[in-house]
């Protein structure tokens, strides 16, 4: 494979959209019939490229997209994405008119948020679609379940607002069944109270990727996967093959291949010193691209289907690999930092373990200066 023309320093990301579509099909099967999919594409599609990922998901019939910020939603609209988009976090006063102009659905959980949305909708001459979020035990944002009925009635009585959905988020799905059951009970009781008050809660959604894989929330109308779309799973679910496959690979070509005599050292701080003569390859990816300094003398890459260790410090723009006895590596050979090569594989989970973090952080950390090659070519302008 030749170097992508867009690559500033010979490192790039490949995104497999055929596998993305396959993962969506697996998610629909896990969710069951009649259940909608709200696809979470926040944080640049978990580092995979929100616009391109959204186009593929929309082309394959996903019912809704979800983002974290108004800016993320506006970027999708400007790219021609026309389907429903919900902003999962609360917004501030300056963002409200922007959200209305972009026809974004907003999350609310208190009177102040409802009034903010109402003013913006009235000023825009629109009826705003709201998702009422309940804090059933995660403790970040959301209304107390006991306040849900009052808030839902407030939305239902407004001519400028529409209660499109009611939802919550689980803290420990698949890990603490007792705590999860309490969360689900609180949500169910609030929904019953809303319906008894004559208010339709709209679309009910509670299970994100973890809840989906744990088979939780069967009473809901929709699932809200993020991580699973990209073929990744929470750490606790890693022992089971759900049929999901990673869609991201991270690759590089060598910028320099050179001999390093025994006893010589390389990199900032001279953190790697050879015990015998070896060959070193310099790759043009570093912490400025989202490959952090914790990988100094920590981790490996694939070349010719074999693992070779990362050695020395990680620079802002580069890292070095000990080729050892692999003497036939050339400047045309791909190095794989995440992904498969021949029969070998380095997963985002493995990289996360080297960083003492989670796979979510590995992919979302990958910076925009790494070009993303979307394969096969995505459908432009899908609604």
Active-site amino acid positions: 42, 268
CA angle, 222 then 117 then 139, to 5°:
55
Whole-angstrom distance, CA of residue 48 vs CA of residue 31: 23
Partners of residue 373 on adjacent β-strands: 14
Give residues with Cβ within 8 angstroms of 255, minimum separation 6.
9, 10, 282, 283, 284, 318
Whole-angstrom distance, CA of residue 358 vs CA of residue 363: 10
Sign of the CA dihedral running 270, 273, 278, 284? negative
E strand or H helix that includes residue 281: strand 278-283
Q: Phi-psi category of 263—alpha, beta or left, where left has phi over 0 and alpha has psi -120 to 50? A: left
- Please state, in angstroms and as integers, the Cα–Cα distance from residue 176 to each residue in 37, 53, 183, 222, following that order: 24, 32, 11, 22
Alpha helices in the chain (DSSP H): 17-31, 42-46, 50-59, 70-78, 96-101, 111-124, 148-156, 177-196, 209-213, 348-355, 359-364
Partners of residue 204 on adjacent β-strands: 166
């Amino acid at each position: 494979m030749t170097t992508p023309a867009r690559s500033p320093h010979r490192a790039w990301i490949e995104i497999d959209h055929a596998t993305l579509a396959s993962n969506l099909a697996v998610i629909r099967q896990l969710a069951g019939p009649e259940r909608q999919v709200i696809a979470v594409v926040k944080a640049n599609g978990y580092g995979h490229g929100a616009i391109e990922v959204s186009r593929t998901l929309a082309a394959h019939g996903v019912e809704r997209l979800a983002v974290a910020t108004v800016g993320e939603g506006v970027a999708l609209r400007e790219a021609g994405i026309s389907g429903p988009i919900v902003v999962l976090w609360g917004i501030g006063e300056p963002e409200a008119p922007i959200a209305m102009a972009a026809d974004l659905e907003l999350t609310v959980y208190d009177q102040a948020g409802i009034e903010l949305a109402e003013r913006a909708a009235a000023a825009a001459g629109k009826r705003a679609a709201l998702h009422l979020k309940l804090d059933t035990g995660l403790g970040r944002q959301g209304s107390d379940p006991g306040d849900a009925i009052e808030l839902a009635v407030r939305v239902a009585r407004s001519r400028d607002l529409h209660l499109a959905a009611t939802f919550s988020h689980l803290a420990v799905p698949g890990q603490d069944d007792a705590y999860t059951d309490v969360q689900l009970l609180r949500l169910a009781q609030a929904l019953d109270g809303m319906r008894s008050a004559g208010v339709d809660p709209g679309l009910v959604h509670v299970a994100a990727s973890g809840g989906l894989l744990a088979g939780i929330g069967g009473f809901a109308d929709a699932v809200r996967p993020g991580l699973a779309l990209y073929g990744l799973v929470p750490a606790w679910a890693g022992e089971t093959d759900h049929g999901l496959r990673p869609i991201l690979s991270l690759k590089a070509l060598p910028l320099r291949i050179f001999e390093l005599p025994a006893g010589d050292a390389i990199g900032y701080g001279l953190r790697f010193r050879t015990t015998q003569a070896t060959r070193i390859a310099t790759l043009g990816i570093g912490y400025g691209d989202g490959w952090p300094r914790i990988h100094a003398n920590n981790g490996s890459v694939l070349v010719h289907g074999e693992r070779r260790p990362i050695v020395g410090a990680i620079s802002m723009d580069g890292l070095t690999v000990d080729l050892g006895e692999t003497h036939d590596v050339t400047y045309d050979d791909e190095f794989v930092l995440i992904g498969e090569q021949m029969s070998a594989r380095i997963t985002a989970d493995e990289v996360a373990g080297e960083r003492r973090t989670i796979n979510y952080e590995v992919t979302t950390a990958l910076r925009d200066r790494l070009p993303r090659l979307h394969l096969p070519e995505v459908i432009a302008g899908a609604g």
